[in-house]
Structure 1
């Protein structure tokens, strides 16, 4: 899984990204003709929001300027850095967008201003448009195409003649770091709520903050031995209730499964980073020199939640059930 995520993070794509208040917007520029496509995310991919309009490989262009492509040009039509979606990619899009109560409207939004129907060479015209059908190419399917029924929100792969032509939507791997507002040069995430900066990295196939969260959710003292300087060094303590809502948008408190993945390769753990700062136990504090205690989202006993203790002296990890009123640290993991 880790290798897969890194491939997506490092994929080569010509991409312009802007991140505003955690709202991700991306564009893909086709340098063959200078056309820019807005994109929408689904699964591990970004999809062109509109049908491809590269005319040189098109077989037919309708009165709306929408090109239709025959299957002998499908593989060469998407610009470099992108490709045709295969059947599994379409299935993921259908699950994400066309399976809920808003599937009809979502499908109409996806089709957008694209023409309906497909070009029938035998008739020299676009057919099936009045039925509300839109047809798109599918990688490795020969002359089979994905048919979207915009009146019912239903998707289905159908057989076409080799000479028939359909529209093309291109896809390319998502850039998760850019989506999270993370600088690739230094792997730093800035929390827009207070402008604090956090080093991030990959653990267990996910993006983690490599520093304890220091965002203040209450006016109470949240620092080791009530010294503000330790909040800068170790981060802040949180009760379980506060921990659940402490991470910024796009991040969350890890559950036990995510913590297990995080600590699997113990030789690569930063014990000096993880194993300090202790915890707050009512008016007392745990060993701040050799231990760090962290909340898990998982709770199996009433008024308790799972706690993960990292001991840097012994390079040992202990999982316990801690009172929800204790003060522990928070490490956020990307959604």
Structure 2
């Protein structure tokens, strides 16, 4: 029986491959994988480039250094050596505030100094800083990260100087959220379930109820796994807060208010079905859908949103945290 009133007793081919799940970039020229971090519209290598064919010098620790003539050609396809503007924006984003010193040290890693190939002894220079290549400069200029003070600035180096290289790539904000932009589907990396998504006010919303971590038919409407496939699984409030994949989250009360403010755009057949799990019974599954928000106003309750399909109305209530409601995940495109 599917319709209830009241309660019943009874989840292109590219040269460079980018993985946004762990923010890593694979250089297909030699198979090396470089970790990276997002800042602004770029992903920044957090590992020094180590492409053997263009290395100019390696020190005793086998760190790779490059001369200016090889900087631009050294980065993997789809990435580039950052210029002064990009480095300045990155430094402003990452190397300011009370943690600037620790952030500079962390980003610089263990590499220190630069080498002058004109020096026959190849002694290290500038041992209290890390030096990184700069794109499109007159003369040999580099970005210096002072690991003693946490400062960063552009410096001039000798003509035969060699430095380390960090590459950057343009961010694909959709791919970082596991979304195929053509299909507008998100693939949950934890179980490969696919969910349709849509963009609303610079936020991506799932258009289907989450099914992740489905382990028992008791998590489903009527305790029948068929309905988890159809409607998604029920979550308690505490489960719901931890249910979304990395980079996504359970919407708070304000986000739900923004989502439903233009009711003419709502898909009532999609939202207003599946009911809820109400202790040892179930809500009306054919005309209502109940969803958790991350907001909690009163002790042992979570703010919920109920969508009524036939009436095209919405009820906003506070439900006991042990009840079973659905989860829709949301994320910002940044």
Q: TM-score, normalised by structure 1?
A: 0.69
User: Would you say the 8 A contact 2:94–2:103 is kept in 1?
Assistant: no
Aligned to 1:136: 132
3-state secondary structure, aligned to 1:221: helix
Runs of 5+ consecutive residues of structure 2 not aligned to the other structure = 1-11
Task: Indicate the residue corresponding to 2:107 in structure 1.
Answer: 107
Deviation per residue, 1:207-239 (Å, 9 max, x gap): 443321223567582333444432221112222
In structure 1, what is the Cα distance between the partners aligned to 2:53 and 2:192? 48
Q: Radius of gyration: which is bigger?
A: 2
Give the number of the structure with larger relative contact order, counting CA–CA contacts within 8 Å between residues 6 or more apart.
2
Partner of 1:16: 17
Instruction: Tell me, in whole angstroms, the C-alpha distance in 1 between the residues paired with 2:27 and 2:260.
Output: 37
Aligned to 2:206: 209
- Contact 2:234/2:326 (<8 A) preserved: yes
Query: Which secondary structure does the structure 1 equivalent of 2:17 belong to?
Result: strand
Q: CA deviation at 1:167?
A: 4.5
Work out whether residues 291 and 309 of structure 1, in 8 Å CA contact, stay in contact via their aligned partners in 2. Answer: yes
Select the residue among 24, 35, 50 that pairs with 2:48.
50
Deviation at residue 329 of structure 1 after TM alignment: 0.5
Q: Which residue in the other structure is 1:331 paired with?
A: 328
* Secondary structure of the structure 2 residue equivalent to 1:252: coil
Inter-CA distance 226–160: structure 2 relative to 1 (3 Å threshold): same
Name the structure 2 match of 1:308. 305
TM-aligned CA distance change 1:80 to 1:247, over 3 Å? closer
CA contact (8 A) 1:208 1:332 kept: yes
- Seen in structure 2, the aligned counterparts of structure 1 residues 170 and 108 have a Cα distance that, compared at 3 Å, is closer
1:298 corresponds to which residue? 295
For 1:131 and 1:197, the matched residues in 2 are separated by 50
> RMSD in angstroms over aligned alpha carbons?
4.4
Q: Confirm or deny: 8 A CA contact 2:116 2:160 kept in the other structure.
A: yes
User: CA separation in 1, counterparts of 2:50 and 2:262?
Assistant: 44
Deviates more, 1:46-55 or 1:274-283: 46-55
1:90 aligned residue: 91
1:247 aligns with 244
CA 1:100 to 1:226, structure 2 compared with 1: closer, same or farther past 3 Å? farther
Aligned-pair distance for 1:295? 0.5
CA distance in 2, matches of 1:217, 1:149: 50
- Distance of 1:159 and 1:249 partners within structure 2: 39
1-side partners of 2:291 and 2:246: how far apart? 20
Q: Distance in 2 between matches of 1:91 and 1:125?
A: 37
Q: Does 1:41 align with 2:37?
A: yes
